[in-house]
């Protein structure tokens, strides 16, 4: 080896080290840059209506400090008050697609896919506790730089919304609970039913029953909802169902002090009248509206009527 070549060797090593360091920095900043891009785009024009065909392609993503990538759909007035919509069990952001257009003129709407649902990450972790969903929502709000949104939760989403309101009272304004009930834990009925799937996805008969409604619902919407829920991995169904029967929130309900509206359909077989009476006792300051002849999915059966009631409450 000549002296001239030997002198070049440390320089070559330094270049290699710097290259690896820059690559590592690039990977480390990729998540931050992605989230910053989401925040920079807050002032962009947003749709006020999205077709069922285009819904999945309208989803954006954000990386949360809870360790998942969350998908969401944004609609409405970029300068409007923020409104976060949380869907029900095995549904996804599409679950709000029929009602959101009636709210879009007044609100900046964020419709999320919960962990394990839709196109968000589905980590294999045994169960998804409701408190973990609430932590994901808190992280989403921070990453998106959302200040004190109103929150609407449907079914499982209403359990998440209750938990969020107790755990993060300074991060929200008003609360709407649709087709809700007290979160008492210990009910393993759904989990036992899901165990019967084994390593298979639920069959068409199960999905038809899972998405049955006492009143007509937009058929195109329902076909997408069934297909997207049915293709969730079997382990994911188990984790969702197991987590929903795990939590007991009732000892802490006196800490829920957000202005609250409870919405209930009289034909709701999952959250019956007795559960509504129990819920009203736990949240005695809540307003309550019942919809005669409607079932568990009010926002699908009568989206315009429900939206009008929600608007009146949120805009008081």
pLDDT tens digits along 29-60 = 554 455 555 554 556 799 999 999 999 999 99
Residue 222 lies in a domain: yes
Predicted local distance difference test score (pLDDT) of residue 39: 54
Residue 184 lies in a domain: yes
* Active site residue ranges: 155, 296
Q: What is the mean pLDDT of residues 128-137?
A: 97
Summarised one tens digit per residue, pLDDT across range 65-105 is 999 999 999 999 999 999 999 999 999 999 999 999 999 99
Residue 143 lies in a domain: yes
Summarised one tens digit per residue, pLDDT across range 204-252 is 999 999 999 999 999 999 999 999 999 999 999 999 999 988 889 999 9
Question: In this structure, what CATH number is given to the domain that contains residue 50?
Answer: 3.40.50.1820
Residue 4 lies in a domain: no
| C-alpha span between 20 and 165 (Å, rounded) | 45
Summarised one tens digit per residue, pLDDT across range 149-159 is 999 999 999 99
Q: b/e map of 179-209 (b: 16 or more CB within 10 Å)?
A: bbbbbeeeeeebbeebeeeeeebbeeeebee
Residue 180 lies in a domain: yes
Strand partners, 39: none
Predicted local distance difference test score (pLDDT) of residue 9: 40
Residue 72 backbone dihedrals phi, psi, to 5 degrees: -155, 160
Q: What is each CA distance from 81 to 104, 227, 306, in whole angstroms?
A: 10, 33, 19
Residue 272 lies in a domain: yes
Helix axes 156-167, 130-143, angle to 10 degrees: 70
- Integer distance in angstroms from the first to the last C-alpha of the chain? 83
Its pTM stands at: 0.87
Residue 158 lies in a domain: yes
Q: Given the structure tokens 């480390």, which residue do they identify? A: 28
Q: Is the pLDDT of residue 137 over 70?
A: yes
Predicted local distance difference test score (pLDDT) of residue 42: 54
Q: Is the pLDDT of residue 17 over 80?
A: no
Predicted local distance difference test score (pLDDT) of residue 12: 40
Domain hosting 236: range is 44-314
Residue 204 lies in a domain: yes
Cα dihedral sign for 89, 179, 261, 241?
Answer: negative
Domains of the chain: total: 1
| C-alpha span between 59 and 267 (Å, rounded) | 32
């Amino acid at each position: 080896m000549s002296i001239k070549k030997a002198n070049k060797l440390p320089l070559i090593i330094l270049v290699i080290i710097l290259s690896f360091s820059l690559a590592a920095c690039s990977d480390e900043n990729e998540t931050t840059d992605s989230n910053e891009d989401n925040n920079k785009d807050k002032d962009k024009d947003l749709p006020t209506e999205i077709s069922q065909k285009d819904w999945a392609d309208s989803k954006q993503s954000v990386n949360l400090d809870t360790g998942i990538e969350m998908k969401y759909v944004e609609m409405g007035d970029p300068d409007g008050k923020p409104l976060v919509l949380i869907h029900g069990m095995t549904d996804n952001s599409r679950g709000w697609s029929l009602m959101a257009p009636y709210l879009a003129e007044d609100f900046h709407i964020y419709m999320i896919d919960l962990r394990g649902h839709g196109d968000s990450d589905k980590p294999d972790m045994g169960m998804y506790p409701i408190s973990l969903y609430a932590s994901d929502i808190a992280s989403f709000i921070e990453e998106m730089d959302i200040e004190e949104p109103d929150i609407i939760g449907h079914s499982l989403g209403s359990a998440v919304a209750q938990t969020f309101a107790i755990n993060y009272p300074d991060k929200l304004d008003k609360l709407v609970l649709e087709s809700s009930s007290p979160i008492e834990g210990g009910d393993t009925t759904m989990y036992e039913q899901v165990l019967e799937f084994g390593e298979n996805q639920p069959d068409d008969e199960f999905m038809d029953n899972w998405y049955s409604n006492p009143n007509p619902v937009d058929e195109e919407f329902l076909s997408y909802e069934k297909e997207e829920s049915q293709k969730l991995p079997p382990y994911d169904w188990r984790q969702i169902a197991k987590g929903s029967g795990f939590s007991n929130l009732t000892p802490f309900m006196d800490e829920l002090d957000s202005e609250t509206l409870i919405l209930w359909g009289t034909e709701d077989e999952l959250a019956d009248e007795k559960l509504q009476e129990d819920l009203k006792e736990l949240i005695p300051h809540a307003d309550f509206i019942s919809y005669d002849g409607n079932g568990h999915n009010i926002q699908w059966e009568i989206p315009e009527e429900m939206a009008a009631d929600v608007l009146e409450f949120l805009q008081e």
